[in-house]
Amino acid sequence: MCGIVAYIGRKQAIPVLLEGLKRLEYRGYDSAGVGVMDGGLKVARAVGRVRVLEEKIDETGGLPGTLGIAHTRWATHGGVTEANAHPHRDDRGKGHGIAVIHNGIIENYAVLKKYLEENGHTFTSETDTEVLAHLIGELYRGDLEKAVQAALREVTGAYAIAVICEKEPDTLVVARKGSPLMVGVGNGEYVVASDSSAIVAHTTQAFTLADYTVAKLTRESFRTSTIDDVEITPEVRELEFELAELDLGNFDHYMLKEIHEQPRALRMCLQGRIDVRGGEIVLGGIAQHARTLANTKRIVLVGQGTALHACMVGRYLMEDMAKIAAEADFASEFRYRNPIVDFGTTIIAVSQSGETADTLAALQEAKQRGALVLGIVNAVGSSIARETDAGIYLRVGPEIGVASTKAFTGQVMTAAMLALFIGRRRYLSQEYVGKMLGELAAIPDKIQRVVDASDTIRSIVAKHVERENWLFLGRGINYPVALEGALKLKEISYIHAEGMPAAEMKHGPIALIDSGMPAVFIATRNSQYEKVLSNIAEVRSRGGHIIAVATEGDGHIGTVAQDVIYVPDAPEQLQPMVNVVPLQVLAYHAAVMRGKDVDKPRNLAKSVTVE
Q: Average pLDDT over the chain, rounded to whole?
A: 92
Answer whether residue 274 shows pLDDT above 80. yes
Do 331 and 346 lie in one domain? The reply is: yes
Note whether 412 and 507 are same-domain residues: no
Residue 178 DSSP label: B
Q: Residue 66: inside a domain, yes or no?
A: yes
DSSP designation for 1: -
Q: Quick one: 469 and 583 in the same domain?
A: yes
Query: Is the pLDDT at 608 greater than 70, yes or no?
Result: no
Does position 550 have pLDDT exceeding 60, yes or no? yes
pLDDT higher than 80, residue 93: no
Considering the domain architecture, whether residues 35 and 88 belong to the same structural domain is answered as: yes
Contact 445, 263 (CB under 8 A): yes
Active site amino acids: 2, 606
pLDDT value, residue 69: 97
Mean pLDDT of 559-588: 97
The conformation of residue 192, written as its DSSP 8-state character, comes to E
505 pLDDT band, cuts 50/70/90, is confident
611 located within any domain: no
Are 421 and 489 part of one and the same domain?
no
Task: Give the confidence band of 61 by pLDDT, cuts at 50, 70, 90.
Answer: confident
Q: Residue 607: inside a domain, yes or no? A: no
pLDDT value of position 212: 93
What region does 367 belong to: left with phi over 0, alpha with psi -120 to 50, or beta? Answer: alpha
Per-residue buried b or exposed e for 415-434, using 16+ beta carbons within 10 Å of the residue's own CB: bbbbbbbbbbeeebeeeebb
Rg from Cα positions in the chain: 25
Report whether pLDDT(28) > 90.
Answer: no
Can you give the CATH number for the domain in which 587 is found? 3.40.50.10490
Residue 95 shares a structural domain with residue 146: yes
Given 244, 271, 286, which residue is the final one in a domain? 244
Q: What pLDDT score was predicted for residue 294?
A: 95
Q: Tell me which of 216, 244, 272 is where a domain ends.
A: 244
Q: Are residues 163 and 234 in the same domain?
A: yes
- Report the Cα 299 to chain-centroid distance in Å: 23
Would residue 184 count as lying in a domain? Answer: yes
- Residue 209 in domain: yes
For 142-170, the three-class secondary structure string (H helix, E strand, C coil) is CCHHHHHHHHHCCCCEEEEEEEEECCEEE
Is the pLDDT reported for residue 94 higher than 70? no
Please count the structural domains in the chain. Answer: 3
Per the domain annotation, does 47 fall within a domain? yes
- The CATH number assigned to the domain holding 153 equals 3.60.20.10
Q: Are residues 339 and 224 in the same domain?
A: no
What is the pLDDT at residue 244? 65
Question: What confidence category does residue 92 fall into, taking pLDDT thresholds of 50, 70 and 90?
Answer: low
Q: What is the pLDDT of residue 609?
A: 54
The answer to whether the CB of 546 falls within 8 A of the CB of 540 is: yes
Mean pLDDT, to the nearest integer, of 283-307?
A: 95
User: What is the distance between the alpha carbons of residues 381 and 383, in angstroms, rounded to a whole number?
Assistant: 7
Kind plus residue range of the DSSP H or E element containing 564: strand 563-567
- Does 510 have pLDDT greater than 80? no
Lowest pLDDT segment from 54-58, 73-77, 487-491? 73-77
Assess whether 457 and 437 both reside in one domain: no
What order of strands is seen across the sheet that includes strand 31-37? 41-47, 31-37, 67-73, 3-8, 190-193, 182-185, 205-208, 237-238
pLDDT band at 248 (very low <50, low <70, confident <90, very high): confident
DSSP 8-class letter at 209:
P
CA end-to-end span of the chain, whole Å? 10
145 part of a folded domain? yes
Structural domain range at position 220: 3-244
- Name the residue with higher pLDDT: 568 or 245: 568
**Which stretches within 541-601 are classed as H helix?**
575-593
Tell if the pTM clears 0.85, that is, is over it.
Answer: no
pLDDT at 149: 97
Q: Are residues 137 and 269 in the same domain?
A: no
Tens-place pLDDT, residues 191-223 = 999 888 888 889 889 999 988 999 999 999 999
In a domain, 84, yes or no: yes
270 φψ region: left (φ > 0), alpha (ψ -120 to 50), beta (else): alpha
Tell me: do 225 and 273 sit in the same domain: no
115 with 13, same domain? Answer: yes
Which among 448, 475, 500 is the end of a domain? 448
Cα–Cα–Cα angle for 143, 147, 150, nearest 5°?
140
